[in-house]
Amino acid sequence: MGEIAPESNVKGGVNPLAFLVGPVVTKYDADPAGSKVIDLAKYIDDGRKTVKSVTGELEMDHGRGICLLNAPKAQGVTGFLKKAGPVFKTRDVEIRSGNDYATVLVVSMDDAELSRSRHVLVQVGTTCRSTGWRTRPVTIASGTASRQGEEIVNFGRAPWQIVENDVTIGIRNGNLTRGRVLDANGMPRRNIALKDSGGMRTFAFPPDAMYVILQPDKLAKRTPTKAIPERAARVSREGAPERTSSQRTGAKRPEARRSRRPAPAKPPAKPVKPEPEPAGDDPEIRKLFKIGETLFIDGRLEEAKAAFRKIVDEHPDSDSAGDARKYLDLLE
């Protein structure tokens, strides 16, 4: 820990667990008399072997070997869950686990509190070891004392072996009705149903999964049913604008009027000034709109909202802006 400056008004040192309570700030070449420490007794309980953060949102229980996160928009637990639990409760979440060691996090993805969020990410991680990993028990000397530990005798080889999840999760949020299982790259694999149990939406986390997204049914559908922008009826999949009536019927446009003055036998056609494309048919705006539609269908709602909002804010008079507003009505 080092020596305490004689001029410091902090006598007797500081509990090293202070780093788990809140920020510890050091200022070099400052007046030692300005040092101060808050009352740590209400955060550090040596008898129960617990440490709470100054916000009250984190609690480390080093006696049981777990750490609990209990914030409005993120809740979960990590540590030796089977031995310490197997049930852990936060303000909105209940976690049951039969895993010896695991980490479970439930996080709001739309900046709303978990109790009313419409887009929630659930993550689970368990013990991961390379194939052939092996240790052996050893006695470790520490000064005049000794303690038991383990020595790694084989680092193993590929592939990595991951313990299957044994986790059931309940969340107190009536907005959520469906789960989407994602692969390791965050891509959707399949849907799972949520059960209504005692005012909570519960589900068994898939044994072979890492991520699950929880959503309402309405926003999890691949095709919006409330309102499909009219642009879909006017624009082909390649983004080509609707054909004119003359293009549909095959009728030719009137030829450009010739000059009344004598002209050569084969006078060049008088150049026709092209009509400006409507604002909504600008390729860059169309491209951004198609990106927003793809993100919406894939369930990446916040990114879709940002794309549609950019069209409305930067190109308010374009045709795409009207269609983008309809999607924003669904998302907001």
Least confident window among 7-16, 97-106, 273-282, 284-293? 273-282
pLDDT digits (tens, 9 = 90+) for 167-208: 999 999 999 999 999 998 889 999 999 999 888 999 999 999
Three-state DSSP state, 110: coil
pLDDT band for 276, please (50, 70, 90 cuts): very low
What pLDDT was estimated at residue 143? 81
pLDDT digits (tens, 9 = 90+) for 137-150: 999 988 888 989 99
Instruction: Tell me whether residue 227 is in a domain.
Output: yes
pLDDT band for 74, please (50, 70, 90 cuts): very high
Average pLDDT, the chain: 82
Q: Mention every residue, 6+ apart, whose C-beta is less than 8 A from residue 248.
A: none
Instruction: Tell me whether residue 22 is in a domain.
Output: no
Cβ-based neighbour number of residue 53 at 10 Å = 16
What pLDDT was estimated at residue 278? 43
Question: What whole-number distance in Å separates Cα of residue 313 and Cα of residue 39?
Answer: 50
What pLDDT was estimated at residue 264? 52
- Of 12-21, 99-108, 217-226, which one has max mean pLDDT? 99-108
Percent of the chain with pLDDT over 70: 77
Nearest to 38 by CA among 51, 49, 54: 54
Instruction: Tell me whether residue 293 is in a domain.
Output: yes
Instruction: Tell me whether residue 291 is in a domain.
Output: yes
Least confident window among 9-13, 47-51, 69-73, 120-124? 9-13
pLDDT digits (tens, 9 = 90+) for 42-69: 999 999 999 999 999 999 999 999 999 9
Question: What whole-number distance in Å separates Cα of residue 328 and Cα of residue 226?
Answer: 12
Question: Is residue 259 scored above 90 in pLDDT?
Answer: no
pLDDT digits (tens, 9 = 90+) for 86-110: 899 999 999 999 999 999 999 999 9
Q: CA angle, 273 as apex, 272 and 274 as ends, to 5°?
A: 110
Instruction: Tell me whether residue 285 is in a domain.
Output: yes
Full domain range(s) for residue 301? 221-241+280-332
Q: Mention every residue, 6+ apart, whose C-beta is less than 8 A from residue 140.
A: 146, 147, 148, 149
CA distances for 324 relative to 127, 233, 291, 292, angstroms: 45, 15, 11, 8
Structure tokens at 121: 């990410």
What pLDDT was estimated at residue 8? 59
What pLDDT was estimated at residue 262? 53
Of residues 206 and 222, more confidence is placed in 206
Instruction: Tell me whether residue 181 is in a domain.
Output: no
Instruction: Tell me whether residue 100 is in a domain.
Output: no
Give the count of domains, the chain. Answer: 1
pLDDT band for 229, please (50, 70, 90 cuts): low
Instruction: Tell me whether residue 302 is in a domain.
Output: yes
